[in-house]
Structure 1
Amino acid sequence: MGYGFTLDDVAHLRSDAGRAALAEVAELPLTDRLADVTAARRIAGERSAAVLETVLLRRRAAAKVDGAAGWLFTDDALQQATASPVGRHRAARFAGRVVHDVTCSVGADLVELARVADRCVGSDLDPVRLAMARHNCGPDQALVRADALTRVSRASAVTADPARRDSAGRRTWKPSDFLPPLDELADTYAGVDLAVKCAPGIDFAVAPWADEVELVSLDGGVREACLWTRGLATPGVSRRATVLRSGSPEWTITDAEPDDCPVTAPGKWVVDPDGAVVRAGLVRHYAARHGLGQLDERIAYLTGDVPPPGVRAFRVVEHGHYTEKSLRSVLRKHDVGRLEILVRGLDVDPNTLRRRLKLSGTAEMTVVLTRIGSGPVAILCHAERT
């Protein structure tokens, strides 16, 4: 659960003495808990726990939130905070709008909205998080303490990120246990354009009021599902996958595109679509866009003679019926000593299998274990960046 910050802690961390203590503790290696606590107490006295926790949270946040070195967080707030590239992507739909972030927490989404919105306001019930948001977002940001289920602004566009933990702090997947509950949130803002950030594993059927569901991945990891309504949704689109990669242009695919693709035997390449595409149910659409076929209509592996540009694809070396014995023989033939094992559609644990294979060669390869029809198949490949 992390350290329980108070308003007095936040006031101290924002003071000259607090900033000086944070800077000094930030110079420590923080690799020995006992030594770290002792040093923090020497530097920050009775506020040592708040100072030490803040430095640790800032280090964790560095890969997630832009400018995190100067931010204030709680542990829970950091866990739920949107990664900055994902927040920027979501905020783009609010450009020029008057927006209310009704679960603003410490402000990770709010700072991105402020860059593009005509005006924006943030609200939260937690006074500590609001105080941290004031620090993180700056003195000009409009903030108010309010329940997300009480309408306190006239904004025509609302965004929310319900907490997905129950009263005991355990992660929950039941929308009725979200804080605030998902359906109550939708009912409260039924008359305005609403966007709700959810975990990517949510069952889309629990939100029949959502006009568009967007799955977003960042650098290969699926980060969120966003439920869009009314004027924030794209006409004619009910499902979208958006792929963000550092240093590369973002791209998106929707269910408005064609989904005609064949089911075919393994070709020259095997392609594993981005997780956002798979989770959004757009594998066939992605295959049709890139001239690929499915190995099996129930499995999300694709194949073809030319892989899409800019992806990690697998050049096929050979393939055949999978048994552990036959795979071991194929790996010996190709002198494989380092093996990446990808599995979909079979009950195989890659780590357990790798130990049993007892690899001893020098080559590095990838094996795709999957099901085509009713039979298990092993496809030996070289992984390449296209």
Structure 2
Amino acid sequence: MITTDDVAFLRSRHGVKALENADRLALTPDSLIADVAELRARYGQRAAALAETVRCRRRAVGRLRDPQHWLLTDEALQQATASVVAAHRAAEIARRFPGAVVHDVTCSVGAELIELTAAAGIGGVLGSDLDPVRLAMAAHNVDGATLLRADALTPTSTADVLIADPARRSGGARTFRIDGTSPPLLDVLTLYAGRPLAVKCAPGIDYGTLRARFGFDGQVQVVSLDGGVREACLWTELDDGVAQRATVLREVDGRLHVEEVTDLESDDASVGPPGTWIVDPDGAIVRAGLVKHWAARHGLWQLDPKIAYLSGDAIPPGERGFAVLEQVPMKEKPLRKALADRGCGSLEILVRGVDVDPDQLRKRLRLKGTTALTLVITRIGARGVAFVCEPGVRRPY
């Protein structure tokens, strides 16, 4: 476990050089014991901190900006907000609260703070945390923020906007329970009631229960990045009356593309048979409950009113679609024949609304050909169906 003394060493001139030397080692699972022994021979009790820091920096590539300069722990990295997501939120805070002083009451190693300090239009940035090690790391990672050690459940500032990210992992396990965070989510919402607050939560949180049982009346924003759902953010203040929002972020060729869908848009999407394409909406749209709204926006329709698969004659920009070749009953014998007739040897299987294990089904289908195909399995009414499709293609922006 890294200590504050370790952090002080890592920030020193000698520590920086030691990290450069440690970075020359493989530090893979196979070499770790020997590599740590080599570090221990040179740097004594600092060996574990050096190895963990270098390994964390390597895993942070693609998640944090300039990760080679960060001080991190394994658990802090797992909990850290991706830089692209944090930067988008910082820009949104600047838009909604121009000139605001923002206080991150669970700042950890500073992943959110560094983007807040870089955002134009924010008047000042505070960060606080109970963990002295993470706070010392934040002091290294972030310039321009005022840092203090404080409990998130003890108000310590009069900042205009507050951010909280209750820990959703303990011992490497992720929790989706409303009462399973640290500090407790409901305590955070209650303590800062009446103040502008953004609370980051697990994307699988039951926000319906949060509204119905606990009276949350703010905005739920579900955010995805490059196809993976990252978080749900609870805003205690609505923005132009929006209660549900999906934010889809994608980085393509160095450019960030953003699509947002809200519950104020039309949800007048029809239900019908498959068209040219089947489209699986981004997970943020599905989890925010905005599939019909997104379908209406792009002229798509549902195959079944309770299933998220959509169909249409064109793929929305940036999305992946599957060209429908054939509809087959959800039975193994006709499936095996349909795939064999098309010479299928490689099969991607997508499933919604039906209890099917794709890996087990793929083995039972006994594929022997050379053609790559996609099988989309779903339910229409009470009937399971399968669509044999060409491999997915993504429409460019």
Give, as a single letter, the amino acid of the residue that structure 1 aligns with 2:104.
Answer: D
Task: Give the superposition deviation at 1:181.
Answer: 1.0
Does 2:280 align with 1:272?
yes
Match of 1:258 in 2: 266
Contact 2:79 2:169 in 1 (8 A): no
Q: Distance in 2 between matches of 1:43 and 1:341?
A: 51
- Counterpart for residue 194 of structure 1: 197
Equivalence for 1:340: 348
| Corresponding letter in the other structure for 2:296 | A
State the alpha-carbon separation in 2 of the partners of residues 172 and 301 from structure 1: 27
Aligned identity (percent) is 56
Q: TM-score, normalised by structure 1?
A: 0.95
C-alpha contact 2:281 2:309 (8 A) present in aligned 1: yes
Task: Give the aligned residue type for 1:173.
Answer: F
Aligned pairs (5 A) from 1:116-195: 116=119, 117-138=122-143, 140-165=144-169, 170-195=173-198
Q: CA deviation at 1:5?
A: 1.1
Supply the AA of the counterpart residue of 1:213.
Answer: V
TM-fit CA distance, 1:303: 0.7
Deviations 1:322-371 (A, max 9, x none): 21111000001111111000011111100001111111111111010111
Deviation at 1:269, TM superposition (A): 0.7
CA distance in 1, matches of 2:4, 2:142: 17
- Number of the residue aligned with 1:350: 358
In the TM superposition, residue 169 of structure 1 has moved relative to its aligned partner by: 6.6
Per the TM alignment, residue 378 of structure 1 is displaced from its structure 2 partner at its CA by 0.8
Counterpart of 2:117 in structure 1 is 114
Matched, 1:30 2:1: no
Distance in 2 (alpha carbons) for counterparts of 1:89 and 1:141: 18
Paired letter, 1:85? V
Per the normalisation by structure 2, the TM-score is 0.93
Match for residue 226 of structure 1 among 188, 210, 233: 233
Distance 2:35 2:217 in 1: 48
3-state DSSP of counterpart to 1:176:
coil
Which secondary structure does the structure 1 equivalent of 2:174 belong to? coil
Aligned equivalents of 1:65, 1:27: Cα separation in 2: 21
Q: Once the 2 structures are TM-superposed, how far is the Cα of residue 43 of structure 1 from its aligned partner?
A: 3.2
The corresponding residue for 1:385 is 394
Asked whether the 8 Å contact 1:369–1:376 carries over to 2, the reply is: yes
Deviations 1:95-128 (A, max 9, x none): 1311110000000001111122210100001111
Q: Work out whether residues 223 and 229 of structure 2, in 8 Å CA contact, stay in contact via their aligned partners in 1.
A: yes
Query: Aligned letter for 2:195?
Result: V
What is the match of residue 46 of structure 1? Answer: 45
Q: What SS does structure 2 have at the residue aligned with 1:112? A: helix
Question: Which string of whole-angstrom CA distances, capped at 9 and with x for unpartnered residues, describes residues 153-180 of structure 1?
Answer: 11011000001245x7753333223111
Amino acid at match of 2:128: S
Paired residue secondary structure (1:328): helix
1:14 aligns with 2:11: yes
Cα deviation digits, residues 9-47 of structure 1 (max 9, x gap): 000111111111100010112231222112212332221
CA distance in 2, matches of 1:147, 1:50: 26
> Could you give the per-residue CA deviations for residues 202-255 of structure 1, whole angstroms, max 9, x where no partner exists?
00022532411000000100000000112xx31221101111111242111111
2:129 aligned partner, one-letter code: D
Aligned twin of 2:82: 83
Contact 1:240 1:280 in 2 (8 A): yes
RMSD (CA atoms): 1.3
Residue identity matched to 1:50: A
Structure 1 residue corresponding to 2:324, chosen from 316, 333, 340: 316
Q: Aligned equivalents of 1:290 and 1:171: distance in 2?
A: 34
In 2, are the aligned partners of 1:165 and 1:171 still within 8 Å (CA)? yes
Which residue number in structure 1 is paired with residue 216 of structure 2?
Answer: 209
Q: Is the 8 A contact 2:27 2:51 kept in 1?
A: no
